[in-house]
Amino acid sequence: MSPALETRALCKSFGALTVAAQIDFTLETGARHALIGPNGAGKTTFVNMLMGGLAPTSGSIMLGGDEVTRQSQRQRVKRGLGRTFQINTLFRSLTVVDNVALAVAERHGVAWGMFRPAGGYRAVLDESMQVLEMLGLAADAKLPLAAMPYGKQRLVEIAIALGMRPKVLLLDEPAAGIPSLESHRILEVLDALPAEIAILIIEHDMELVFRFARRITVLAQGAVLMEGSPAEVSSDARVRQVYLGERRE
Partner 1 sequence: MSTPSAASHTGSYLSDPRVRFIEWLPWVLAIACYFAAPTYLPLGSYILIMILFALSLDLILGYAGIITLGHAAYFGFGAYVAAILAVRGTADPLIGIVVAGAAAGLLGWLTGLVILRTRGLTLLMLTLAITSICYEIANKAGTWTGGADGLGGFAMKPILGLFKFDLFGKTGYLYCLVFLFLGWWLVRRMIYSPFGASLTGMRDNVLRMHAVGSPVYQRLVVVYSISAALAGIAGALLVHTTEFVGLKVLSFDLSGELLVMLILGGVGRIYGAFVGPLVYLIAQDSLAKQFPEYWYFGIGLMLVLVVMFARGGILGLLDKLLSRMRRGKP
Binding site for partner 1 (CB under 8 A): 51, 73-74, 77-78, 82-83, 85, 89-95, 97-98, 101-103, 105-107, 110-119, 121, 124-125, 128, 142, 144, 146-147, 160, 163-164
Q: Which is nearer to partner 1, 72 or 229 (CB)?
A: 72
Q: Which is nearer to partner 1, 58 or 89 (CB)?
A: 89
- Would you say 187 and 101 are in contact if contact means Cβ atoms under 8 Å apart? no
Pairwise CA distance, residues 209 & 148, whole Å: 26
* Class of residue 201 by CB neighbours under 10 A (exposed 0-12, middle 13-18, buried 19+): buried
Measured CA distances, 167 to 139, 176, 200 (Å): 27, 23, 11
Q: Which is nearer to partner 1, 37 or 163 (CB)?
A: 163
Residue type, 42: G
Min dist. Cβ of residue 142 to partner 1 (A): 6
Min dist. Cβ of residue 21 to partner 1 (A): 27
- Give the 3-state secondary structure of residue 108: helix
Min dist. Cβ of residue 235 to partner 1 (A): 37
Min dist. Cβ of residue 167 to partner 1 (A): 13
Min dist. Cβ of residue 181 to partner 1 (A): 28
Q: Which is nearer to partner 1, 85 or 210 (CB)?
A: 85
Pairwise CA distance, residues 134 & 123, whole Å: 17
Min dist. Cβ of residue 215 to partner 1 (A): 25
- Would you say 38 and 220 are in contact if contact means Cβ atoms under 8 Å apart? yes
Min dist. Cβ of residue 35 to partner 1 (A): 18
The contacts found for 9-12 with CB under 8 angstroms, 24 or more apart, are 9/58, 9/59, 9/60, 10/46, 10/49, 10/56, 10/58, 10/59, 10/60, 10/61, 11/56, 11/57, 11/58, 11/59, 12/42, 12/45, 12/49, 12/54, 12/56, 12/57, 12/222
Q: Which is nearer to partner 1, 6 or 127 (CB)?
A: 127
